[in-house]
Structure 1
């Protein structure tokens, strides 16, 4: 007996109607950043919120879109109807069409995500130094 295509009994088959679920590699291409930057943002918990399926971090397209629009609106760049969107969509279309080659990264989003990572890492290190200093102070006195 054959199984239907949307049979959810198999662990390899996931069916989410009207929700696109992307792997981290696909999500980094969707955002236009390097996969390592997306991984670092996940470690620092400052990037798009991942969902966990079978202990694998995956991203919804809606969450990635909101994260991207949030980064762009923070610097006052609009994506809809502007020249930025036309240039970027052409670069993404070329990158998706060429399988096996590295895709063109979006320079603005690479810089914005690097700035976000830098700010979050600096904040964590400063709070860590504060806690360490208070701990040393309590031990010595």
Structure 2
């Protein structure tokens, strides 16, 4: 196994920062541009935990973003060669990447599914709370107050 090489910007506090080859880490904003989605969509994906896997809070590995994109293509029934073609076409600088309409559409679909799941669970919980409260004196107080 090859040992990681220390970078030149090691801290004088005794800590060493290692550079791992092919392990580029992007911020949330840069990861959104890399995937081809809006920063708001990326924030919602991470909040709902249905997006790409985070490396650390607000940081994403490029290989995790590529894996997420390949998963979107696979769930859509598109070939992995199409995902590879699009991924290879997105190797430019992160600032120069145009939005990817397919990834944006697929990410929004995942968001809709996650929000529907959470809203359904909240509705079930609210319904159960109403059923339980409807058989108590607290319900009469709440009904007369409204």
Give the TM-score of the pair, scaled to structure 1. 0.75
- For the pair shown, the structure with the greater C-alpha radius of gyration is 2
Match of 1:17 in 2: 20
Contact 1:6 1:15 in 2 (8 A): no
4+ residue segments displaced more than 6 Å: none
Match of 1:128 in 2: 122
Deviations 1:49-92 (CA, angstroms, capped at 9, x unpaired): 2132xxx4101122111111111101121243x4x6546644x3
**Residue-pair matches, total:** 126
Structure 2 residue 39 is matched with structure 1 residue 35 = yes
Structure 1: how far apart are the matches of 2:85 and 2:69?
A: 16
Contact 2:66 2:87 in 1 (8 A): no
* Cα shift at 1:37: 0.7
1:51 is paired with a residue of what secondary structure? coil
Map 1:41-52; keep pairs closer than 5 Å: 41-52=45-56
Unaligned runs of 5+ in 1: none
Structure 2: how far apart are the matches of 1:40 and 1:49?
A: 13
Unaligned runs of 5+ in 2: 1-6, 136-146
Q: Report the CA distance shift for 1:77/1:37 in structure 2 as closer, same or farther (over 3 A).
A: same
Contact 1:88 1:106 in 2 (8 A): no
Structure 2 residue 117 is matched with structure 1 residue 114 = no
